Amino acid sequence: MRRVIFNKKGGVGKSTIACNLAALSAAAGKPTLLIDLDAQCNSSQYLLGAEAEGIESTVADFFRSFLQFRLLRDEPELFVHPTTWPNLYVMPAHPDLDDLQTKLESRYKMFKLKEALDKMPGYENIFIDTPPALSFYTLSALIASDSCLIPFDCDDFSRKALYALLDNVQEIRQDHNPALRVEGIIVNQFLARAKQPARIVQRLQEEGLPILEPFLSSSVKIRESHEQAIPLIHLLPKHKLSQQYAALYQGLTHTRRIGRQTKRQQPGQRQPQALR
């Protein structure tokens, strides 16, 4: 199963969600690959720690290879690196991704990631972390994936932008990847005692959007997890947020669509194109 974690808004927790879900998959005994397509390299640093700096054979090198004529190309596995945790592997990002983007776009190389993953055996789950924009790399990830997970941070501006994002996914599905689907919206940094987040989430549920449960609570422990370069589910496995991640992962493995089950769409309500 290939999942892309995508939102055009920054700071919604894409990297944290991608890494902790990947860590849970690996802990369940499934060979798991995390692909970091964000030039900020947050996922790479989260899972590899200090080793991420100066690492050779990154995803930037993978894409750069398609800008050069070669009779024989390096196998995709050359760009994959093991982590400290069994079954968990990373294709790390690099800041050079920004400089390569225009050249890759002009040469229409957005199918190369899918082609590489189709040839790469052995991984039961692949999670792809993307930059906060509908860029070449995000498009490559959506073309290569089976499903899309959308982190959502309970902000009204984010809610309004969500509809355009869903339509973006629908357009990519129609033009490039008919198998792509929105697997669900992950409510992140949720404050259970605050009225506004609950009101915004309820509105999305009433519109029939696939809101996944449980919601992920806001916690300062995530910052400690980042600082120590240890996924929270390993650093503090009994923490409330770790348990929420575990429940979310279990829900994904059973392909539950909590949002659709919560309440049927009422007559006359607009359904985003990505869910039609």
Query: pLDDT tens digit string along 39-79?
Result: 999 999 999 999 999 899 999 999 999 998 776 678 899 99
Q: Does residue 25 contact residue 85 with C-beta atoms inside 8 Å?
A: no
Whether the pLDDT of residue 159 is over 50: the answer is yes
Domain that holds residue 53: 2-275
Any idea of the CA torsion for 144, 187, 261, 126, to the nearest 10 degrees?
20
Asked if residue 238 lies in contact with residue 213, where contact means CB atoms within 8 angstroms, the answer is no
- Report yes or no on whether pTM surpasses 0.95: no
Helix (H, G, I), strand (E, B) or coil at 28: coil
- Residue 121, classed as helix, strand or coil, is coil
Q: Could you give the angle at which helices 14-27 and 240-253 cross, rounded to 10 degrees?
A: 70
Count Cβ atoms below 10 Å from residue 180 Cβ, excluding itself.
22
Q: Is the peptide bond between 214 and the residue preceding it cis, with omega within 30 degrees of 0?
A: yes
User: Helix H segments across the chain?
Assistant: 14-27, 42-48, 59-64, 97-106, 112-119, 136-144, 156-175, 195-206, 221-228, 232-235, 240-253, 258-262
Highest mean pLDDT among 69-73, 121-125, 180-184 belongs to 180-184
* CATH number of the domain within which 198 lies: 3.40.50.300
pLDDT at res. 185: 97
How many residues are there in the chain?
276
Average pLDDT of every residue of the chain:
90
Report the DSSP beta bridge partners of residue 90: 34, 81
Give the model's confidence band at 255: pLDDT under 50 very low, under 70 low, under 90 confident, else very high: low
The H-or-E segment that residue 90 falls in is strand 88-91
The total number of structural domains in the chain stands at 1
- What is the per-residue pLDDT across 74-120, written as a single tens digit (0 to 9) for each? 889 999 999 999 999 999 999 999 999 999 999 999 999 999 999 98
